[in-house]
């Protein structure tokens, strides 16, 4: 049996994981992953008592276990909540409840971290620094300070030693993913090591604050000519991989309707600005804020929206934007067959998908919204109904699209809270029409034709060199063609079993016939000493023959 890697290096962490899984009733999974040996002897002897818990659903127990296992697992759960192609709907709903607020580290520890990163004492770097954190999450803490020039800033500091914890947990993730791939039915459906690799990439990117700073700068450039959105400045002289300093922006939290009303803000205009922001991000820039919960947006004077926290972003290629628009058009036309074709074109539907069943499921979804005004369609409701279809048919849409769906869901929720009659589709319609015109413009088609011509040109340039070599291999007999047929290994194995059974049948029959012919000779010669073993051999061969007949009959029934 395969052992978990890095056993001694992560012994305490494996023990903690095994104990938490057992605590929340996942003892079978502990056994399946080979984690039982990491449990203390008292837990092994009293497993039933330890595993007893109040009646909770499986998704609830998973969420509680994740929260107890700490920041890496919380981040994993949050990322998994954006993957309904992998996680069932009931689990998605529970993972979205994961809390990312933890008690702050002491100021002395954080101060030391800032000084190590920036190379100078805090009182020399800043004119003032409030040691009470504005916020404390699993990976970082945020403080308010003032620069020597008088600029008010917020300082985001990575928790000390969190990198070691994250890297240790990622090592364990890779080990557990490989074991789940080998030992559970999930491995037959998903590439779990690849999913673990994607998660590790996302988490490591979020922990590099230089990347977050560049994300903010890109948003500043994209919205430089737009007055309804404000992106704070990054102070690069105070920014490293583990510390980032932003311009401090203040305002009213975007979903605090009472405070907005009291301040005299136009709620409909704020909702309109939210919609314009997200539509521009998707259809124009292909670069969007993927964590748009209300805490990351404030309303400033003039209904200007101030954005914060740029660690998690999504990107849409030109091709993906085109695919989205094609899906949108097919859906508005209630053309389920075209939707299925587009999903296959995007490689979202696998080769073995039941196309007719998928078409029926999509048809039911489209018919439900047939005739409804767009302003009455809620993104949250649509996404919640798409999720079971995606999971049932294992649709592998790019992770950016699931992030986008969650983003649209959040933003429409904020818009409806601000202005219940707000119609985000009406706002998006001109942008969609403009994008469709761009897709069909001669310039775009010219670029596609030029790209295709370039690829064909490369092929024709290569062919004259490759064909003579191919012909030489044919003449010399060095050319080999390998043909792999689906299920060939299984078919050959069955043929091998049939041949073996046939050979055994012939040998048993020959043995029985031979003994039957020899027995009269033994009896006539009165060779009693050989008659007993010969009779025993005859009876054994007969039993073996009957067993062979029974096995053939049973195989035929199966």
Residue positions annotated with a catalytic role: 291
Q: Cα(352)–Cα(375) distance, rounded to whole angstroms?
A: 37
Q: Rounded to an integer, what distance in angstroms lies between the CA atom of residue 194 and that of residue 439?
A: 33
Task: Say how far apart CA 353 and CA 296 lie, in whole Å.
Answer: 40
Q: Please spell the DSSP secondary structure of 310-333, one letter per residue.
A: -SSEEE--HHHHHHHHHHHHHHHT
**Considering all CA atoms of the chain, what is the largest pairwise distance in Å, rounded to the nearest integer?**
122
Beta bridge partners of 153: 145, 247
Q: Give the closest residue to 127 by CA, choosing from 105, 104, 108, 144.
A: 144
What count of Cα atoms within 13 Å lies in the side-chain half-sphere of residue 198? 12
| Cβ within 8 Å of residue 297, ≥6 positions away | 253, 254, 274, 305, 306, 307, 308, 414
Pairing, β 135-136 against β 140-146: antiparallel
d(CA 238, CA 251): 24
Sheet holding 229-230, edge to edge: 229-230, 304-307, 297-300, 252-253
Q: Where are the beta strands (DSSP E) in 174-312?
A: 229-230, 243-247, 252-253, 287-289, 297-300, 304-307
Residue 129 has a CB neighbour count (10 Å cut-off) of 17
Under DSSP, the state recorded for 366 is: H
Rounded to whole angstroms, the Cα distance separating 340 from 358 reads: 7
**242 exposure class (CB count in 10 Å sphere: 0-12, 13-18, 19+):** buried
> Do residues 91 and 99 make contact, with C-beta atoms less than 8 angstroms apart?
no
Give the Cα separation of 155 and 248 in Å (integer). 9
């Amino acid at each position: 049996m395969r052992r978990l890697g890095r056993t001694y290096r992560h012994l305490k962490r494996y023990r903690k994981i095994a104990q938490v899984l057992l605590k929340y009733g996942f003892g079978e999974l502990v056994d399946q992953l080979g984690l039982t040996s990491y449990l203390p002897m008292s837990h092994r002897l009293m497993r039933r008592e330890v595993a007893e818990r109040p009646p909770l659903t499986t998704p609830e127990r998973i969420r509680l276990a994740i929260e107890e296992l700490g920041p890496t697992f919380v981040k994993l759960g949050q990322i998994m909540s954006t993957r309904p192609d992998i996680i069932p709907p009931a689990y998605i709903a529970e993972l979205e409840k994961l809390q990312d607020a933890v008690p702050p580290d002491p100021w002395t520890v954080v101060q030391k971290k800032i000084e190590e990163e920036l190379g100078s004492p805090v009182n020399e770097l800043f004119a003032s620094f409030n040691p009470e954190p504005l916020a404390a999450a699993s990976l970082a803490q945020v403080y308010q300070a003032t620069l020597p020039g008088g600029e008010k800033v917020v300082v985001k500091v990575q928790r000390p030693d969190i990198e070691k914890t994250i890297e240790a947990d990622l090592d364990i993730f890779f080990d557990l993913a490989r074991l789940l791939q080998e030992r559970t039915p999930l491995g037959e459906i998903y590439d779990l090591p690849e999913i673990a690799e994607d998660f590790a990439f996302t988490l490591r990117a979020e922990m590099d604050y230089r990347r977050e700073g560049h994300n903010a700068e890109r948003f500043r450039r994209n919205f430089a000519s737009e007055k309804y959105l404000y992106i704070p400045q990054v102070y690069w002289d105070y920014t490293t991989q583990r510390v980032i300093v932003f311009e401090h922006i203040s305002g009213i939290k975007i979903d605090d309707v009472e405070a907005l009303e009291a301040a005299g803000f136009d709620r409909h205009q704020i909702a309109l600005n939210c919609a314009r922001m997200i539509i521009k991000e998707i259809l124009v820039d292909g670069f969007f804020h993927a964590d748009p919960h209300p805490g990351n947006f404030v309303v400033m004077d003039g209904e200007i929206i101030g954005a914060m926290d740029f660690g998690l972003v999504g990107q849409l290629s030109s091709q993906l934007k085109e695919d989205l628009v094609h899906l949108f058009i097919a859906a508005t036309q209630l053309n389920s067959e075209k939707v299925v074709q587009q999903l296959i074109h995007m490689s979202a539907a696998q080769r073995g998908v039941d196309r007719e069943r998928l078409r029926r499921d999509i048809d039911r979804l489209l018919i439900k919204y047939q005739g409804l005004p767009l302003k009455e369609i809620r993104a949250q409701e649509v996404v919640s109904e798409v999720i079971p279809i995606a999971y049932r048919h294992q649709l592998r849409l790019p992770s950016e699209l699931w992030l986008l769906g969650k983003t649209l869901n959040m933003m429409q929720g904020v818009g409806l809270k601000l202005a219940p009659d707000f119609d985000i589709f009406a706002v998006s319609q001109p942008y969609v029409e403009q994008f469709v015109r761009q897709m069909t413009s001669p310039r775009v088609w010219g670029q596609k034709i030029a790209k295709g011509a370039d690829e064909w040109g490369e092929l024709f340039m290569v062919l004259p060199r490759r064909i003579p070599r191919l012909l030489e291999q044919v003449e010399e007999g060095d050319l080999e063609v390998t043909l792999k047929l689906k299920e060939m290994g299984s078919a050959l194995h069955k043929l091998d079993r049939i041949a073996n059974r046939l050979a055994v049948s012939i040998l048993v029959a020959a043995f029985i016939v031979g003994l039957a012919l020899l027995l009269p000779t033994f009896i006539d010669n009165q060779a009693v000493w050989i008659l007993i073993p010969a009779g025993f051999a005859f009876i054994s061969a007969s039993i073996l023959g009957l067993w062979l007949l029974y096995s053939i009959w049973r195989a035929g029934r199966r």
